[in-house]
Structure 1
Amino acid sequence: MSKTLKVPHTLILLLGMMVTALIATWLVPQGFFDTTLSESGREMVVAGTYQTVAERHYLTPWDLLTAIPRAFAAAQDVIFFVLIVGGVLAIARATGTVDALIGRLLERHGKKPQRLIFMVVFCFALASSSIGTAGEYIPFVLILVALCKAMRLDAMTAVGMIVAGYGIGYGVSAFNPFTVLIAQQIAEVPVYSGLWLRLAIFVPFVLIGFHHVWQYTQRVANDPSQSMMLDVPCPLKDKATPHYPELAMRHKLILGSFIVTLGVAVWGIATKGWYLYELGGVFIAWGALIAILGRLSADETANRFIEGVSDLVTTAILIGVARGIALILEDGQILHSLVHGMSLPLSYVSAEISAIGMLVIQTVLNTFIPSGSGQAYVTMPLMAPLGDLVGVPRQVAVLAYQFGDGFSNMIIPTNAVLMGILGMAGVPYGHWFRFCLPLLIKLMVAASIVLVLAVMFGYGLDVQPSAVGS
């Protein structure tokens, strides 16, 4: 019986979703909205212009096969960033810095894991909320897995801390330039308006994420057989060090250089528009620096880097295939049809239900449009005027978009960052789904309550465009 219910390998799940997407392109009406260029040069759909194609274009199984290498090309920035980070962290581990840091953290937090879990969830959520960090968390994965292993916790706990912070930060974002800024500009409400509500709900939502991870940790601590990772080997294998070295001066210098590296990355993102290519270059520079500080020979540095990269080849494959699902939907011209079809029922229900409906639609669509900014350009030109018709303030429509995009980032297999984190930690997607689904449900319920209250109390009416809806 257990064999019958066994979840397939993550790669098989992703390939199955690609096949399902291909079949959907044969059944769902093909159509499109007219598009226009935004001030930033991005394509944005025009509301009320949806039309079906004159003649259906059928994708073939050959298109499915060729979509896989095309998907690798489309996801190359994430793939190479993950491989580079894996190689550089292998160099850092060879210097003994990671083990020394873990030993120091165990001294301070070993008997109070709840404090560590809250700090990680809160800090990652704060970073995502303010500057939209996501792929930047990948360097922390193996460090937290090693720390959790030393604390007799499992890799699921490490991933839970990272992804809960990442998803909740995006969902209740206060300043995220990739989601809040773009969505508010499209909805024609003042940039960063409504800040007070997003700040007010930040800590309560972080506490929901913390409680979910901590509850699981307690269950595993009381009964190790309750761990979801019992049947999965640790990605660190025998690399864990039973004796943790003292945090020496060279280790402190390497850690200090890591903080400087992160600072340079944040500066580049905020002021220069850097993303994964530039961040990869920054981490390569850090790898060269720590090899010097750690007194590693050139040959040993090269061997360690290649070893770290080779450990993440499986992860790279999963990231590439995950991108293929959205490619099939785009090629089959049904992405706009899905958006159009899901938005139609909202005009027949109350404003409060419509707000929840917007949340559900944004959650579902994030599976097909895993880019936060891309989803804003496709959905917000439709949701903003639709909200005018059904009595949902545009500010609430933006909030529904944030919730739907951010929270579902934690579970959708088309999210390349999520697949990278899971792959590095050695957590199968099926195991993660079982862990994360209850958390997603809790967050969706809380988000629905916030949206209903926001509509009832007129959140955003003070900045509603005066020429609309009157």
Structure 2
Amino acid sequence: MADLPTASRFRAPDTTLILAGIIVLAAAMTWVVPPGEYARAEIEVEGVGTREVVVPGSYQRVERDEQGVGDRLLHSVAIVLQAPILGFTDEDAAPIIAFVLLVGGAFAVLTETGAVDAGLRRVVAAAEGSPLLDVLLIPLFMGLFSLGGAVFGMSEETIPFVLIFVPLAIALGYDSLTGAAIPFLGSAAGFAAAFFNPFTVGVAQGIAGVALFSGAGFRIALWVIVTAVVTGFVLWHARRVRRDPSRSPVHALDADREGSVLAEAGDTFTRRHGAVLLAFAAGVVVLVAGVLAAGWYIVEIAALFVALGIAMGAIGGLGGNGTARAFMAGVRDLAPTAVIIGLARGILVVLEDGQVVDTILDGLASGLGGAGAALAACAMFGVQTAINFFVPSGSGQAALTMPLMAPLADLVGVSRQTAVLAFQLGDGFTNMIVPTSAVLMGVLSLARVPWPTWARWVLPLQLVLVGVGLTALVVAVAVGYA
């Protein structure tokens, strides 16, 4: 009997196809979920500025512009086809897309100088010669990225670091999942359990009427726990892959690039390489200082990296033409990442066009009444987790949900500080997995890791973090966290 062909083996769909499918599902959802909206008002949030928030109790159903079935169907088809371009031009996504392209160009200049490859060779050699450094390398870097997430909301800034940590991880005998996880999961852990993040804790506390950055002691303890859990997960995976590379979910994908990792680097680390890396390190210090002291965000950070690209090209001896060619090559390489970010944002564009986001929020929030304090706090965490799929922006979610959750917390016997914590954890943990997160999709595109592969890999960590979050909220209610 002849063997059956094996060509029918299932292959995971491309990330672009998955996002396109979710856009279609979002359009279908607008046919099922009735349209509605809350009234909005602008308030001044201490230490943050003006924010537009929803008015509690103002939700009402609205009529669609397209009443006939034919008109609605035509509009749905049109908005699905327009979603990618509308995602590109969305006021929240457009700066991220431009940021990725420009920073990618600057990193390409850095790579072209040879300083990264030569530096990575030094790190790999040092790790091979020092068992202690080998053990501490991942926890050290993840701790630093987590601190960035906890203090100044480091998120989009981690995207370009994937270009450094993926080749480093592979050179150390790990895989691209590890390389992407070090900067991304590190900062995401800090972002979720932040104690001074102005974009989540600051906005949410200001809207809830809680003293700015109060309750920091509880959050610092939680940050240590969450960072340790996430770091432990990545470290466990990395060691497992080093012992048996075939156990990596991306083993076949990484096999194609193992031969090229550090292949073109010179044998010696020159003074010029050192000067280039010193300039880059100085740029990172300026970045942190700018974010903390001057409130820099995407535009200012992108401008800093453009300046860094020019400086590193000059120091690295590339010349004007060499720097320009390397920069544009980097922009071209990141074009697919820009498309992925636009598609991810397109999902939200479709939902917002259908006016169903507020309806979903109202339905979730109205189901919290009548529960005990601990159960209500855990339910708030669940609601915030669900909402994060539709509103992956931390400050945006705070502005949307906290005006509802703060007075609701008073009614169910939960402190407003605990309600802020429920928002923070619900928003932060799922940033590590939801495909509507532009940062996650940008990181995965740079690392060349398919989203389904990442989702299956990170799901056990998500379940553990949910347990940590629920436990933290129960403890917060028990101790009267305020």
TM-score under structure 2 normalisation? Answer: 0.91
Alignment of 1:65-84 (within 5 A): 65-74=81-90, 75-84=93-102
Match of 2:165 among 136, 144, 168: 144
Which residue is equivalent to 2:21? Answer: 16
Contact 2:121–2:262 (CA under 8 A) maintained in structure 1:
no
Against the structure 1 CA distance between its residues 83 and 342, is the aligned structure 2 distance closer, same or farther, given a 3 Å change threshold? same
Q: Deviations over 1:16-39 (max 9, x none)?
A: 111111111111121111110111
Against the structure 1 CA distance between its residues 189 and 344, is the aligned structure 2 distance closer, same or farther, given a 3 Å change threshold? same
2:366 matched to 1:361? no
Structure-1 separation of matches of 2:137 and 2:305: 25
Q: How many residues align?
A: 460
Against the structure 1 CA distance between its residues 32 and 216, is the aligned structure 2 distance closer, same or farther, given a 3 Å change threshold? same
Which residue is equivalent to 2:413? Answer: 391
Structure-1 separation of matches of 2:174 and 2:352: 41
Match of 1:426 among 444, 448, 451: 448
Match of 2:111 among 68, 88, 93: 93
SS of structure 1 residue aligned to 2:34: coil
Counterpart residue type for residue 7 of structure 1: A
2:242 matched to 1:221? yes
SS of structure 2 residue aligned to 1:36: strand
Tell me by how many angstroms 1:60 deviates: 1.7
Counterpart residue type for residue 195 of structure 2: A
Against the structure 1 CA distance between its residues 16 and 364, is the aligned structure 2 distance closer, same or farther, given a 3 Å change threshold? same
Structure-2 separation of matches of 1:397 and 1:235: 47
| Range 330-339 or range 263-272, more displaced | 263-272
Match of 2:334 among 307, 312, 331: 312
Alignment of 1:167-206 (within 5 A): 167-206=188-227
Match of 1:417 among 439, 445, 448: 439
Q: Deviations over 1:174-224 (max 9, x none)?
A: 100101011001110111111110011221111100111111112212221
2:295 matched to 1:290? no
Alignment of 1:33-44 (within 5 A): 33-39=38-44, 40-44=49-53
Structure-2 separation of matches of 1:363 and 1:234: 36
Counterpart residue type for residue 369 of structure 2: S
Structure-1 separation of matches of 2:433 and 2:50: 30
Which residue is equivalent to 1:435? Answer: 457
Contact 1:212–1:439 (CA under 8 A) maintained in structure 2:
yes
Which residue is equivalent to 1:48? Answer: 57
Counterpart residue type for residue 20 of structure 1: L
Structure-1 separation of matches of 2:398 and 2:8: 42
Structure-2 separation of matches of 1:268 and 1:204: 28
Which residue is equivalent to 2:251? Answer: 230
SS of structure 2 residue aligned to 1:7: coil
Which residue is equivalent to 2:178? Answer: 157
Against the structure 1 CA distance between its residues 132 and 82, is the aligned structure 2 distance closer, same or farther, given a 3 Å change threshold? same
Structure-2 separation of matches of 1:263 and 1:348: 50
Structure-2 separation of matches of 1:169 and 1:262: 18
Structure 1 gap segments, 5+ residues each? 461-470
2:344 matched to 1:322? yes
Structure-2 separation of matches of 1:367 and 1:211: 26
Against the structure 1 CA distance between its residues 218 and 267, is the aligned structure 2 distance closer, same or farther, given a 3 Å change threshold? closer
Counterpart residue type for residue 105 of structure 2: G
Tell me by how many angstroms 1:123 deviates: 0.7
Structure-1 separation of matches of 2:364 and 2:451: 27
Match of 1:280 among 302, 327, 332: 302
Structure-2 separation of matches of 1:35 and 1:270: 30
Contact 2:37–2:359 (CA under 8 A) maintained in structure 1:
yes
Structure 2 gap segments, 5+ residues each? 1-5, 67-71
Contact 1:96–1:245 (CA under 8 A) maintained in structure 2:
no
Contact 2:175–2:254 (CA under 8 A) maintained in structure 1:
no
Counterpart residue type for residue 236 of structure 2: Q
Counterpart residue type for residue 406 of structure 1: G
Match of 2:353 among 318, 331, 337: 331
Contact 1:170–1:405 (CA under 8 A) maintained in structure 2:
no
2:123 matched to 1:105? yes
Tell me by how many angstroms 1:306 deviates: 2.0
Which residue is equivalent to 1:166? Answer: 187
Alignment RMSD (CA, Å): 1.8
Match of 1:350 among 367, 372, 378: 372
Against the structure 1 CA distance between its residues 235 and 338, is the aligned structure 2 distance closer, same or farther, given a 3 Å change threshold? farther
Counterpart residue type for residue 25 of structure 1: T
Structure-1 separation of matches of 2:55 and 2:7: 50
Tell me by how many angstroms 1:102 deviates: 0.5
Match of 1:114 among 131, 135, 147: 135
Structure-2 separation of matches of 1:446 and 1:5: 35
Against the structure 1 CA distance between its residues 341 and 368, is the aligned structure 2 distance closer, same or farther, given a 3 Å change threshold? same
Structure-2 separation of matches of 1:262 and 1:321: 30
Tell me by how many angstroms 1:314 deviates: 1.3
SS of structure 1 residue aligned to 2:50: coil
Against the structure 1 CA distance between its residues 239 and 207, is the aligned structure 2 distance closer, same or farther, given a 3 Å change threshold? same
Structure-1 separation of matches of 2:267 and 2:199: 41
Against the structure 1 CA distance between its residues 247 and 116, is the aligned structure 2 distance closer, same or farther, given a 3 Å change threshold? same
SS of structure 1 residue aligned to 2:198: coil
Structure-2 separation of matches of 1:224 and 1:135: 30
Contact 1:235–1:424 (CA under 8 A) maintained in structure 2:
no
Against the structure 1 CA distance between its residues 4 and 26, is the aligned structure 2 distance closer, same or farther, given a 3 Å change threshold? farther
Structure-2 separation of matches of 1:245 and 1:36: 61
TM-score under structure 1 normalisation? Answer: 0.94
SS of structure 2 residue aligned to 1:42: strand
Tell me by how many angstroms 1:332 deviates: 0.6
Against the structure 1 CA distance between its residues 238 and 73, is the aligned structure 2 distance closer, same or farther, given a 3 Å change threshold? farther
Tell me by how many angstroms 1:70 deviates: 1.0
Structure-1 separation of matches of 2:266 and 2:467: 43
Tell me by how many angstroms 1:266 deviates: 2.4
Contact 1:109–1:115 (CA under 8 A) maintained in structure 2:
no
